[in-house]
Amino acid sequence: MFPARNRPYPPTDMTALQERRAQVFRDELLIQQQMHELITRRRTVRSEYNACSPACQLPNELLADVFLWISAYQQTCDRFKATEIIGLTHVCRHWRAVALSCKKLWSFIGETSEECIFVFLQRSGNVPVDYTWSRETEGVPAIIRLYPSRFRSLDVVTTPESIKELSWALQNSHWDQLESLILVVGVDSMDVYVHSDLAFAGSVPQKLRTLKLDGVLPSWSNTAIYRNLRVLDFLYQDSKSGLDLDFATVPEIVEILSVCSFLEEFNLYVPGIESLGNGEDVHVPPPERIVELKNLRVFTYATFLPWDIGYLLAHLDIPATAHVLLSPLKPSVRPVPPPFSKCLPCDLSRLRGTETAGSIRFQTRDPCIYAFQEDHALSENLEDPCLGIVFRDYRDYRLNTRHISQDQPAGVVWLIIICMPELQLTAAPV
């Protein structure tokens, strides 16, 4: 038989049901209160127990150094979060007191919220702060622009819009403590450049020592920005090289270097730099002046245009101990540039680096080093126009030659091998 439809429910005492329901709520509230008391007791016992551990018997100064070491190590990890440092303050009361008294511990701010940044700024006291942001698709928190005098370094990889906002703050605020400035337009915006005068409200930070710009075009004429730098990088993506933008000319780069008396590292990767010329018969005139870079340790220049390298070498006095890399880039639509051996001027620098561009394998046999193109390894006389080698002997005399298996002057031990990157080269005894 089928049950009857619309059969009424049996009568229920609603008063008794409501009372049972209220009792359940009271029991639940009581259990929650007991759990809260238990968690509080556990936290207190854990804090007291941790305070009796051997680590808490260390002197406060040594324990603070341990915290700083942990913080420095965590900063090198890919998944580092700024909030991990806050966890130190929850271990025990002793650790909390030591961590909060160590202002330097709170001087590094990673990728976190504005609320957390404000906490770090408060706990770091008057200690200058280092800030890092590498979210290429997200803007930098606005709170950074509100405290310009607190930051010692800015290492920012972000969107073009956020770079523009930060550049505006750099142009209209005083960043008196700033020592390092790294601005990078994210790879998701490779075809976008951002202009930034870096005026610093008319007062360049006297402590500024490092300036690295990737996708950001500074003022080329305001040389006061570069005066006290130790590290200077101009890095621009290959895909941006065809854009008609305000790049520096090679003479402007020389002018910038002329004021960098303390420069130790200079890296220039500018495929789109305005060149001296774009033909095969580029004449490099004798230099009117020589810029001495007596403190330079590293010099890197990558470009499509090898004659620009010759121009820079003619105008720079580079220390003999400097690490030098001159790297030609493979052009995408331009004609293949001529060999470096045709473009290098008379050597007026004290260049003694041993560096390569392209793929090089070599073996040496004193006192000479010989090289040959891999496709013509058995040939005794190479005339390939894409291969250029520069030799220098003890008397600071340089030979520009493409006959690389011929007799070389005695005493040659330093060389620069410069070639198009699509070539595979081998240097070996003949």
Q: And the tokens for 12?
A: 């229920």
Say whether pLDDT at 401 is over 80.
no
Dist CA 64 CA 96 (whole Å): 11
**Span 345-376, pLDDT tens digits:** 333 343 333 333 333 333 333 323 333 333 33
Domain final position from 81, 105, 129: 105
Average pLDDT in the chain? 68
Extended beta strands in 146-186, E state:
151-158, 180-185
Would you place residue 343 in the very low, low, confident or very high pLDDT band (cuts 50, 70, 90)? very low
Residue 168 included in any domain: no
Domain final position from 83, 105, 127: 105
**Span 247-273, pLDDT tens digits:** 777 788 888 898 998 999 998 887 545
Residue 342 included in any domain: no
DSSP lists the bridge partners of residue 316 as 291
Mean pLDDT of 233-255: 68
- Give the rounded distance of the alpha carbon of 377 from its chain centre: 40
Would you place residue 202 in the very low, low, confident or very high pLDDT band (cuts 50, 70, 90)? confident
Q: For position 24, what pLDDT does the model report?
A: 92
Amino acid at position 308, single letter? D
> Which is more confident, 265 or 333?
265
Say whether pLDDT at 231 is over 90.
yes
Ramachandran region of residue 256, left (φ > 0), alpha (ψ -120 to 50) or beta? alpha
Number of domains in the chain: 2
> Which is more confident, 119 or 85?
119
Residue 201 included in any domain: no
The answer to whether the beta carbons of residues 227 and 200 sit under 8 Å apart is: no
Q: For position 370, what pLDDT does the model report?
A: 33
Could you tell me what percent of the chain has a pLDDT over 70? 60
pTM across the whole model: 0.64
What lies within 8 Å, CB to CB, of 173 at 6+ separation is 145, 148, 200, 201
Say whether pLDDT at 400 is over 60.
no
Residue 424 included in any domain: yes
The distance in angstroms from the start CA to the end CA of the chain is 107
Residue 89 included in any domain: yes
Q: For position 274, what pLDDT does the model report?
A: 52
Cis peptide before 367 (omega within 30 of 0): yes
Domain containing 54: what range?
Answer: 45-105
Domain final position from 56, 84, 105: 105
Say whether pLDDT at 5 is over 50.
yes
Residue 170 included in any domain: no
**Span 140-186, pLDDT tens digits:** 778 888 888 888 998 888 888 888 888 888 888 888 889 999 988 87
Q: And the tokens for 265?
A: 């590292």
Could you tell me what percent of the chain has a pLDDT over 90? 8
Residue 131 included in any domain: no
C-alpha closest to that of 324 among 303, 296, 284: 296
By the 10 Å C-beta count (0-12 exposed, 13-18 middle, 19+ buried), 9 is classed as exposed
Residue 300 included in any domain: no
